[in-house]
Amino acid sequence: MPRHATQKTPPPEFAELRPGQSIELLKELHILTRDGRLNQDSRRKLKQVYHLCQLIEPLLGQVIQESGSVQMADIGAGKSYLGFILYDLFFKARNDASRVYGIEARPDLVEKSVALAQKLQFTRMAFLDIPVAEAISTAELPETFDLVTALHACDTATDDAIHFAVKKHARFIVLAPCCQAEVAAMLRKNKGAALADPHKSALTEAWRHPLHTREFGSHITNVLRCLQLEAHGYQVNVTELVGWEHSLKNELIIASYKDLPRARPAQRLQAMLDTLGLEELRTRFFVK
C-alpha cells in the first residue's frame, strides 16, 4: 500500500462493535443511544454483553460442531436481551435449524420481543408467554435443549430454570442467580431453634444478624444449586460476570452435562439441608 494511502477506519461511535452487528438492535436495547452512539454508560453495557457472549459462544460452537444446530432456551427472558444479542452475533449468519426460545410469563414483554424479532427479521426466534413449570410439558417446545440460560431470574425462577434444564436434558446451563430470598427466609424462621441446639449454635452465628442472614442465604442457595446440578451428572464451574460493576449479583454458574457420578453430591446436598435446618426445601433442590 502506498505511503500516502490511508486505511478507512470505522467512525469512533462504531469502533467497539463487532463486524455486522445490528445497530438497530443495539439502539432498541439501549446499548447505543437513540442517535446510534456510544456513551460511557453504553460502553459499560457493551463490555458486559461481550464478556457474557465470550463465555457462551464456545458452548454454542461446540454444539454446532457436533450436532450442526443449536436449540437454546432463555428462561425468565424479560426483554430477551441475551437472546437477541446472541442471535445477532452467533445465529444470524447461520443457515441451519438453530432456534432461540425466550420463555417469559409477562405477556407485555413477550409482545415487545415478538415485534422486535419481526422488525429485525430474526426469523428463528420464538417467544412463549408461559410459566416455566408449564413450559416443561408444552408441545410448543422441543423435547431437548442444547443450552438453557437464566440471567438474573429473580428468587426461585433460577431453580425453575434448573428444573426445566434437567427435564429437557440440557447439555449446557448458564445461570446468573438473583435475589435468593427463600433460603434466607427459612434460615430466619428456624434461627431460634438452631441457636438452642448445642450441635448447631456455633454455626448459626454465620447468619445470626439480619444482614448476614440475607448474605449467607444467598451464598448457600447457590452452593445448593451447584450440588444439585452435580447430583444430576453435571460438571459445574462458578465464575464472575466481570464487568457487571453496577450489580452485586456477580456470580455465574456454568454447568456442562458429563454424566458424572451422582451419589456423593446428592449426599452432600442432603447433609447441608439437614445441617442448616432446611429440610423443608428438599422438593426445591430435588435430586432424581
Full DSSP string of 31-82:
SS-TTS---HHHHHHHHHHHHHHHHHHHHHHHHHHHHSS-EEEEET-TTTHH
- Third-level CATH fold of 31-176: Rossmann fold (3.40.50)
In this prediction, residue 191 carries a pLDDT of 82
According to the per-residue pLDDT averaged within each range, which of 5-14, 107-116, 175-184 is highest?
Answer: 107-116
Looking at residues 263-274, what average pLDDT do you find?
Answer: 95
Share of the chain above pLDDT 90, in %: 53
In this prediction, residue 121 carries a pLDDT of 96
Contacts 24+ apart (CB under 8 A), 230-236: 230/260, 230/262, 230/265, 231/262, 231/265, 231/266, 231/269, 231/287, 231/288, 232/166, 232/262, 232/287, 232/288, 233/257, 233/258, 233/259, 233/260, 233/262, 234/173, 234/258, 234/260, 235/260
CA distances from 273 to 67, 131, 207, 219 (A): 38, 27, 15, 14
Contacts 24+ apart (CB under 8 A), 29-38: 29/79, 29/81, 29/84, 29/85, 37/13, 38/13
Does the pLDDT at position 243 exceed 80?
Answer: no
Looking at residues 226-237, what average pLDDT do you find?
Answer: 97
In this prediction, residue 240 carries a pLDDT of 85
pLDDT-based confidence at residue 5 (cuts at 50, 70, 90): very low
Of the candidates 70, 72, 88, the one whose C-alpha atom is nearest the C-alpha of residue 29 is: 88
In this prediction, residue 7 carries a pLDDT of 38
Domain extents in the chain: 31-176, 180-236+262-288
Does the pLDDT at position 1 exceed 60?
Answer: no
Q: What is the pLDDT of residues 84-106, one digit of tens each?
A: 999 999 999 999 999 999 999 99
Does the pLDDT at position 116 exceed 80?
Answer: yes
Distance CA 23, CA 106 (A): 27
In this prediction, residue 178 carries a pLDDT of 76
Residue 281 grid cell: 426445601
Alpha helices (H) along the chain:
23-28, 40-67, 81-86, 107-120, 132-135, 157-167, 182-189, 191-196, 201-204, 210-230, 263-275
Residue 133 grid cell: 413449570
Share of the chain above pLDDT 70, in %: 91
pLDDT-based confidence at residue 286 (cuts at 50, 70, 90): confident
**What does pTM read for this prediction?**
0.89
Strand order of the β-sheet with 71-75 is 125-129, 99-104, 71-75, 147-154, 172-178, 251-257, 234-240
Of the candidates 217, 226, 285, the one whose C-alpha atom is nearest the C-alpha of residue 253 is: 226
Distance CA 32, CA 26 (A): 5
Is the pLDDT higher at 44 or at 258? 258
In this prediction, residue 14 carries a pLDDT of 52
Our measurement of the distance from residue 84's CA atom to the centroid of its chain's CA atoms, rounded to an integer in Å, reads 14
Is the pLDDT higher at 273 or at 17? 273
pLDDT-based confidence at residue 138 (cuts at 50, 70, 90): very high
Residue 183, SS3 per DSSP: helix
Is the pLDDT higher at 42 or at 232? 232
In this prediction, residue 236 carries a pLDDT of 98
Residue 256, SS3 per DSSP: strand
